[in-house]
Amino acid sequence: MKNKMADLHNALFMELETLQDEDSFRGEDGKIDQAKVELAIKRADAVSGVAGKIMELQRLQLDAVKTAFDHGIAVRMPETLGIEDARPVGGKP
């Protein structure tokens, strides 16, 4: 993981794909293993919780940049937003 929002999106979709893949929950006998299901659900819940915190932090950073901009304060775009090269519409490069 490179710690970009695109990587977070990919990780969340991988968790979703895992939850949708019934074969990943089958034991050696071919039957659904409830322990594997419960573990996958706990893992997905943990991933979702961490992802939510990351997204809250992203929102806080974006709000801070927007507030500074609205008050005429020049700030550098945080790298973690993944838009550090963004320019205002009609802005100069």
User: Which of 3 and 77 is assigned the larger pLDDT?
Assistant: 77
- Tens of pLDDT along 62-88? 999 999 999 999 888 888 777 766 666
- Tens of pLDDT along 20-53? 999 999 999 999 999 999 999 999 999 999 999 9
User: What's residue 5's pLDDT?
Assistant: 82
Please give the biggest Cα pair distance in the chain. 66
Q: Name the nearest CA neighbour of 31 among 44, 19, 22, 20.
A: 22
> Would the pLDDT of 16 be above 70?
yes
User: Which residues have C-beta within 8 Å of that of residue 39, sequence separation ≥ 6?
Assistant: none
Paired tokens of 50:
């961490």
